[in-house]
């Protein structure tokens, strides 16, 4: 037996009707009538409500809580209306009979209904869209004011001689009005404070751990690189470790957007593990370019060339301006002349120069300053529509 997601109040009756093969109205009557036997109906109803699972939405493999439950009956409004009607009726009864004893039954009932309507829209059916939130808020204001009026009226009655215990009801009613007015805010505030405290503790722990690792592990890794020589394998591993640790310590857990800068940094880290090379990536300006573009591919190819053929120290400089992107990849290897490269070697000619040309940019390969090594310069103007 399951409860449908499109239901009147809870889906219990509809679910049960479907399960037993009865009509929905029949099930509802059965529930209502069985209340005559000491309230068995309502207990059974609540028991079924608590234990019956919601129906799995079609087209999904698991019952996800995300699928909203559509209720045809506006329960909070119904409860409020009931409470109001009950209050009015009990005062009418007092005027007619002159006896105030009926208040002992109706006032707690009115309060229960009123609080129930507030609780419903806070815990059972939380309003999501702005319109519903506004309605729920207005309802809460209305309920609060209604309770104040009720307290006032009961207070007036309790001032009459012989009222006795009625002052107790005044107190309870006033307290409920106060609860309606500030209760939800107080609960939210408490929850937020708790969340903030958790967050703060977590941050402190992280900062403490970061400080400790900074003072111990990062220093050791720096020392290892320092002692092992810049391009040795040990130093490269230490450097990769340092980079990973640093990312974890300082970048935090938030996902980094895959822009060109992040892409080049990652690629540099990967190259350092595979080749005896130390790549420093310097980024200037906000990169809006994605790491998947032609510039990124050409830059990666240049970095790979530098790592494979030159090694040692390689500098990568990325500058993004409003209208253009420039990437410089500079190595200090033996260098080469483009004319010496055979026609069939596609690396430089196709993967770098051809690619940039097709993307509407330009690539230039030239000896580094002072004739040492090679420098590749990639340049791309952003198109107007971006």
Q: Which of 18, 266, 294, 319 binds other proteins (CB under 8 A)?
A: 319
Min dist. Cβ of residue 282 to other proteins (A) = 4
Query: How many positions of this chain bind other proteins (CB under 8 A)?
Result: 38
State which residue, 14 or 289, has the beta carbon closest to other proteins. 289
Q: DSSP secondary-structure letter at 367?
A: E
Min dist. Cβ of residue 337 to other proteins (A) = 19
Q: Which of 222, 256, 290, 362 binds other proteins (CB under 8 A)?
A: 222
DSSP string, 308-376: III-EEEEEEEEE-SSEEEEEEEE-SS---GGGS-TT--IIIIIIIIHHHHTT-EEEEEEPGGG-SEEE
Min dist. Cβ of residue 250 to other proteins (A) = 6
Structure tokens belonging to residue 114:
């009123």
Among 246, 224, 245, which Cα is nearest to 236's?
Answer: 224
**Per CB under 8 A, 209 contacts other proteins:** no
Min dist. Cβ of residue 4 to other proteins (A) = 51
**Strand 70-71 and strand 277-284: pairing?**
unpaired
Q: Which stretch binds other proteins (CB under 8 A): 48-56, 130-138, 177-185, 309-317?
A: 309-317
* Segment 244 to 303, residues that bind other proteins, using CB under 8 A: 246, 250-251, 280, 282-286
Residues 255-274 as b/e (b if ≥16 CB within 10 A, e otherwise) read eeeebbbebbbbbbbbbbee
Other Cβ atoms less than 10 A from the Cβ of 322: the count is 8
Helix axes 294-305, 260-274, angle to 10 degrees: 20
Q: Which of 229, 234, 248, 334 binds other proteins (CB under 8 A)?
A: 229
**Which residues in this chain contact other proteins in the complex, by CB under 8 A?**
214-215, 218-219, 221-223, 225-227, 229-230, 239, 242, 246, 250-251, 280, 282-286, 313-315, 317, 319-322, 328, 330, 368-370, 372, 375
């Amino acid at each position: 037996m399951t409860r449908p997601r499109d239901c009147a109040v809870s889906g219990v009756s509809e679910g049960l009707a479907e399960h037993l093969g009865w009509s929905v109205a029949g099930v509802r009557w059965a529930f209502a009538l069985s209340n005559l036997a000491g309230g068995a109906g309502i207990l059974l109803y609540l028991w079924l409500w608590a234990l019956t699972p919601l129906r799995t939405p079609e087209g999904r493999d698991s019952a996800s809580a995300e699928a909203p439950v559509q209720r045809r009956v506006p329960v909070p409004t119904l409860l409020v209306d009931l409470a109001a009607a009950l209050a009015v009726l009990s005062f009418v009864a007092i005027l007619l009979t002159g006896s105030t004893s009926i208040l002992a039954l109706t006032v707690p009932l009115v309060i229960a209904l009123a609080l129930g309507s507030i609780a419903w829209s806070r815990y059972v059916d939380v309003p999501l869209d702005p319109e519903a939130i506004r309605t729920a808020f207005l309802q809460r204001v209305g309920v609060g004011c209604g309770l104040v009026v009720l307290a006032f009226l009961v207070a007036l009655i309790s001032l009459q001689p012989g009222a006795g215990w009625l002052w107790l009801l005044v107190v309870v009613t006033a307290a409920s009005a106060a609860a309606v007015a500030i209760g939800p805010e107080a609960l939210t505030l408490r929850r937020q404070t708790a969340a903030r405290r958790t967050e703060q503790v977590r941050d402190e722990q992280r900062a403490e751990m970061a400080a400790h690792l900074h003072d111990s592990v990062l220093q050791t890794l720096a020392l290892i690189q320092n002692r092992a020589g810049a391009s040795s394998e040990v130093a490269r591993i230490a450097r990769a470790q340092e980079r990973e640790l640093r990312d974890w310590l300082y970048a935090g857990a938030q996902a980094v957007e895959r822009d060109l800068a992040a892409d080049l940094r990652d690629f540099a880290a990967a190259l350092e593990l595979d080749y005896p090379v130390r790549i420093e990536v310097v980024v200037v300006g906000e990169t809006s370019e994605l790491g998947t573009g032609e510039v990124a591919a050409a830059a990666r190819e240049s970095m790979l060339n530098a790592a494979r053929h030159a090694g040692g120290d390689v500098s990568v400089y990325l500058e993004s301006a409003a209208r253009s992107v420039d990437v410089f990849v500079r190595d200090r290897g033996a260098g080469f002349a483009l004319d010496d490269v055979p026609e069939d070697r596609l690396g430089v000619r196709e993967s770098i120069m051809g690619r940039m040309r097709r993307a509407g940019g330009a690539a230039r390969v030239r000896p580094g300053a002072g004739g040492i090594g090679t420098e590749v310069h990639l340049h791309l103007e952003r198109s107007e529509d971006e």
